[in-house]
Amino acid sequence: MTILVTGGAGYIGSHTCIELLNNDYNVVVVDNLYNSSKKALDRVKEITGKDLKFYKGDILDKDCLEKIFKENDIDCVIHFAGLKAVGESVGKPWEYYNNNITGSLNLIEAMKNAGCKNLIFSSSATVYGDPAQIPITEECPKGKCTNPYGWTKWMLEQIFTDMHTADPDWNVILLRYFNPIGAHPSGLIGEDPNGIPNNLMPYITQVAIGKLPELGIFGNDYDTPDGTCVRDYIHVCDLATGHVAALKKIKENCGVSIYNLGTGVGYSVLDVVNNFIEATGVNVPYSFKPRREGDVPQCYSSADKAKRELGWEAKYGIKEMCRDSWNWQQKNPDGFGEAESL
Ligand code: NAD
Ligand code: UD1
C-alpha cells in the first residue's frame, strides 16, 4: 500500500513516516518545508533503514499534486500539511484560510481526479472549543473556536464529511489530537519550533537548556486541583502508531469516523513541570503570569473509542514524554537548523 503523507517532514508527520515504514507501507511525502527541514526525512531513513519518496512541493500548487498522483499509485492520504501557530493565525487569517483550506481543497480535487478516496486528517481537540463535558468523548458537540487556525480544522472536518455525503465511496478518518509532546527516543527527530515557543513543552525544554530564563505559567487561579490548566499530553510516537491503526480501519471502508487521540489522563501545567524535573533532574524556574486569552481550564480526552474501534491506546507516560523531549533538545539545541522560508 502506498501512502501520500502531506506535511511529512514536520513534527508529527516525520514520526508517523517512521511507523509507516516500519509497517512496510510505501511512503510518498509532499512538503514545502515552510516549517520543517529535509534533514528530518534523512533521519527518518537513518532510523528505519528504509527509503521514502520526497517531493518538495506545495499543496497550493495543483500541478504539483496532479504530478504526484500521476507518478504514484496512492491508496490513502494522511494529511498533515498546514499552518498551525494559533497566535499567528489571529493576525494572518487570510494566510491560514488560504493555506489550510485552499490547500486541502486542491488536495481532495487531485484525489478525486486520481480516484483515491481514502483520507486521514490531522484535526485537533481545539474543535471542541470550551468542551461541553470532561473527559471529552467524540459525541461531545463541536464548539466555538477562538482563532482562525481552530476554525480551519473545524471547517475542514465539515468539508471532508460533505465529500462522503456526496459520494459514499469516500472514507474519511478525522483524528482529533490532544497535546502532542515528546520525540523519537533516538533523539534524532523532534519538534523544532521557530523563534520563542508558544507551546508548553518546547518552552520548558528551552528554559531547561538555558535559552530562556524562566517559564511563565499562564494562570494559577483556574478551577482545577492546583489552579493551573489541565491538558491531555500525548507522546508523538503514540500519535504516530494511531495513524497506522487508522490506516487499518480505513481499509474496512469505514465512511466518516472520528477518533480522539489522547491518553485520557489530564495533567496540570505544574504536574508537567514537576514530572519534567523528576524525569530529567534539571530544574525549571517558573513564575505565575496572568491567564492567556483563549485557554480553557481543562481539556482531556476519553480515549475509549480509539481503543475499542482501532485497537489503539497510548503506551508512553508523562515521564517518558518529558525524557524524550529533553533528549531531543539536548542532542539538537538548535533543532534542525534553519528551515526554508516560502
Ligand atoms: P508542523 O508544522 O511540524 O508540520 C506541518 C508540515 O506541513 C510542515 O512540515 C510544513 O512545512 C508543511 N506545510 C505547511 N503548509 C504546506 C503547504 N501549503 N504545502 C506543503 N506543505 C506544507 O506541524 P505538526 O505539529 O507536525 O502538525 C501536523 C498537523 O497536525 C497540522 O495540520 C496541525 O495543525 C495538526 N495538529 C498539530 C497539533 C500539535 O500540537 N502539534 C495539535 C493538533 C493538530
Ligand atoms: C494550543 C492551542 C491549540 C493547539 C495546540 C497544539 C491555544 C489556546 N490552543 O493548545 O489550539 O491545537 O496548542 O498546537 O493556543 N502554558 C504556560 N506557559 C507557556 C505555554 C503554555 O503556562 O509558556 C500553558 C497554557 O496556558 C496551557 C498549557 O500550558 O494551559 C498547554 O499549552 P499549549 O502547549 O500552548 O497547548 P494548548 O493551549 O492546550
Question: Length of the chain, please?
Answer: 342
Tell me the CA distances in angstroms from 181 to 24, 135, 241, 243, one per residue in order. Answer: 25, 20, 14, 16
Contact 298, 230 (CB under 8 A): yes
Which atom of ligand 2 has the smallest separation from the CA of 299? 39
Kindly identify the ligand whose nearest atom is closest to the C-alpha of 35: 1
**Grid cell 534539571 — which residue?**
282
271 band by pLDDT with thresholds 50, 70 and 90? very high
Q: What is the mean pLDDT of residues 310-334?
A: 97
Annotation marks residue 149 as catalytic: yes
- Cell output for 217: 505559567
> Which of 55, 149, 259, 267 does the annotation list as catalytic?
149
The mean pLDDT of the chain is: 97
338 band by pLDDT with thresholds 50, 70 and 90? low
Q: What is the mean pLDDT of residues 295-321?
A: 97
Say whether pLDDT at 162 is over 70.
yes
pLDDT tens per residue across span 33-80: 999 999 999 999 999 999 999 999 999 999 999 999 999 999 999 999
**Full-model pTM:** 0.97
Kindly identify the ligand whose nearest atom is closest to the C-alpha of 181: 1
Tell me what pLDDT residue 339 has: 44
Tell me what pLDDT residue 340 has: 43
Residue having the nearest C-alpha atom to atom 33 of ligand 1: 84
Residue having the nearest C-alpha atom to atom 31 of ligand 1: 80
Tell me what pLDDT residue 337 has: 85
pLDDT tens per residue across span 164-218: 999 999 999 999 999 999 999 999 999 999 889 999 999 999 999 999 999 999 9
Percentage of the chain modeled with pLDDT above 90: 96
- Cell output for 294: 483563549
How many angstroms does the Cα of residue 5 sit away from the middle of ligand 2?
A: 26
Residue 97 is given by DSSP the state I
Tell me the CA distances in angstroms from 59 to 98, 116, 217, one per residue in order. Answer: 11, 16, 37
Distance CA 239, CA 246 (A): 11
